[in-house]
Amino acid sequence: SWVCLVEAITARVIVYCADHLALSSHGINSGGGSRAPLASATTTERLHALVVTRDGRFLVTGGEKGAVVVRCTHDLAPWARYDGPGAAITALRVTPEECIVAGMADGRLAVWAPIVAG
């Protein structure tokens, strides 16, 4: 069993529990001793990579089914999903241009670029 912590700029800590396939968001400055999460969600797969975007608005996850899911950090609701070429995603990076780069378990890289309105 393991837990992965990702700290966001927005004074939140996002916790992933692989045993329960659960994400939760907690405030760093939450007062009053409340331990209740600000938001929570379940995932449909075991995650291997998590990254928060530079502006702290989105959590990007990748896991054993090879898909990338973008979630709002505010409520952890899915915002977008990108299917990969099949292998599990083991590493993620969001570039300054907002491209998502994923490292796959088989050694390949996949890149998703944002749609730019022209």
66-104 tens-digit pLDDT: 999 999 988 999 999 999 888 999 999 999 988 999 999
* Distance (Å, whole) CA 95 – CA 63: 19
| pTM reported for the whole predicted model | 0.87
Q: What is the pLDDT of residue 11?
A: 76
The two tokens of residue 47 are 């995650």
25 burial (CB, 10 Å; 0-12 / 13-18 / 19+) is: buried
